A and B are shown apart, each in its own frame.
Chain A
Amino acid sequence: MRRKLKRGGAAVEFALSLIVLIPLLLGVVGLGLSLLRQMLTVQLARDAGSMSARKIDFTASGNQQILSQIAGSLSLTAGSGTGGTAGSGNSVVILSTMEYVSASVCGQATPALAADTTHCPNLGSWVFAKRIVVGNSTLAYSSLGTPPSTIIASDGTISINNQCLTKADQVNSSNPWINPNIPAADLAVLQTQPIYVSEAVASGFQMPPFSRGTLTYAQLYF
């Protein structure tokens, strides 16, 4: 009798083990595809940043189209201009140029500003000199901060006056985007040249509850 009852025991045990195995399998698949999307996000940020640092104009629709082709399955919606396409597509590329406001920069404003924080409030701060968003602008925002859209010109640039006077144009200082251990001499050199930052954000692979579509993010400096 006991052996009769044991017939099919392995199948029952296997069915029980499937309760563990199938979620494990789906989890591995979800993780793998999420890693793939992360890799594509880094690739997109790298190519976009490299071109941006070489002055490729990403307000032009043609260049945004190239970015869209690179993004592939990340579904980057190409448009034109600086603001991106709100709500359209599954990814966004945020291109920023950051500059340091030194005394000489305050002097380049029109009219020239005295080199003190009363007349030149952003003196001694890093500010945005250019901002272009390509893709779904409502998907995510830059971790470095967002300059007011009113000070961004049609080509994405921000005037010297706004760089000196608009406090909201400052790069988010709470974000440790610059190496705090960089030697003072090197930092001084760095402060004389622009830093090009490329950020790419994409919706993650969605297969709840194994992969919840958490945003993938890449931030690269040039």
Chain B
Amino acid sequence: MRENCWLPAEDGARPAENRAGTAGRYRLVRGVRSGQSGLRRVGQRGAEILEFTFTVIPLLALVTVLVDVGWGIFAKATLQWAAHQGLRYGITVTGTQAAKANSDLTTMVKSFVQSESLGLLSSSSAAACIHVNFYGLDSTGALVNVDSSGTGNYSPNLMQVSVDKYQLPALIPRIYNFAVADTAPTTISVAAADEVEPSNDPPPMGPAP
């Protein structure tokens, strides 16, 4: 049962409501459960709020770090998935599909990665982090970038879809000290690669990377 309470007298007895001379020493505390000591001396006013503040700020600091770590893991997993899906799509795209979309392989793959990124890569600055590279091997087995070759997207070359140096904004500011909250973005890079599927209807490569 909740009721309004008066600060008890020194002997613990409830003061009479018409007790004279108590206005400066007692105050009404509303909503305190009957039988509990929820009453405060005037000198203690605000102490609970102060203590609450002292405890909440460190707790909040812990929570912000936790949230941002989870946010970073989620973003990295999402981007990895998007790059992987873009790659799977890219190695099987045909010239007919590209002509129907009035597009080219690189542009189509980038759009696909964007669509799979749950909005993380929707802005133009974020989309600029998506790269589609094509690689082959020279006679010594060393890696050669064939982006500028007209047939770079032909089998058995490798296609690599990557999201490079994506700047993930902090979901909430991290509290490391009382002066300035840390809002620095987290840099994330992911990549996926596979062999381009053999095809007798290869699409135009487009402006790789």
Contacts and interface: CB of A to CB of B under 8 A. Distances in A.
Question: Is B a genuine binding partner of A?
Answer: yes
A66 B44 contact: no
B80 A40 contact: yes
Interface residues of A, number: 39
Interface stretch (B24-32, B48-56, B114-122, B199-207): B48-56
B51 A10 contact: yes
A70 B62 contact: no
B90 to A, nearest CB: 13
Contact of A11 (B51, B144, B193): B51
Contact of A3 (B44, B54, B138, B189): B44
B80 A43 contact: yes
A87 interface: no
Contacts of B73: 32-33, 35-36
Interface in B118-144: 135, 137-138, 140-144
A40 B193 CA distance: 13
Interface stretch (B63-71, B102-110, B166-174): B63-71
Q: How many interface residues does chain B have, given as a range?
A: 35 or more
B99 interface: no
B158 to A, nearest CB: 6
Contacts of A32: 69-70, 73
A58 to B, nearest CB: 10
A50 B197 CA distance: 12
Contact of B192 (A13, A61, A70): A70
B195 interface: yes
A14 B54 contact: yes
A56 B158 CA distance: 9
Contacts of A46: 84
B65 A25 contact: yes
A86 interface: no
Interface in A4-59: 7-11, 13-14, 18, 21-22, 25, 28-29, 32-33, 35-36, 39-40, 43, 46-47, 50-51, 54, 56-57, 59
A43 B144 contact: no
A8 B51 contact: yes
A49 to B, nearest CB: 10
A21 B59 CA distance: 9
B143 A65 contact: yes
Given A9-B51, A10-B51, A25-B66, 12 more contacts: A11-B51, A11-B55, A25-B62, A35-B73, A36-B76, A62-B135, A62-B142, A62-B144, A66-B160, A69-B160, A69-B193, A72-B191
Interface of A: 3, 7-11, 13-14, 18, 21-22, 25, 28-29, 32-33, 35-36, 39-40, 43, 46-47, 50-51, 54, 56-57, 59-63, 65-66, 69-70, 72, 80
30 contacts: A10-B48, A10-B51, A10-B55, A11-B51, A18-B58, A29-B66, A36-B73, A36-B76, A46-B84, A47-B84, A47-B192, A47-B193, A47-B194, A50-B195, A56-B156, A60-B137, A60-B141, A61-B140, A61-B141, A62-B135, A62-B137, A62-B144, A66-B135, A66-B143, A66-B158, A66-B160, A69-B162, A69-B193, A72-B190, A80-B141
4 closest residue pairs by CB, A with B: A62-B143, A60-B141, A14-B55, A10-B51
Interface of B: 40-41, 44, 47-48, 51-52, 54-55, 58-59, 62, 65-66, 69-70, 73, 76-77, 80, 84, 135, 137-138, 140-144, 156, 158, 160, 162, 189-195
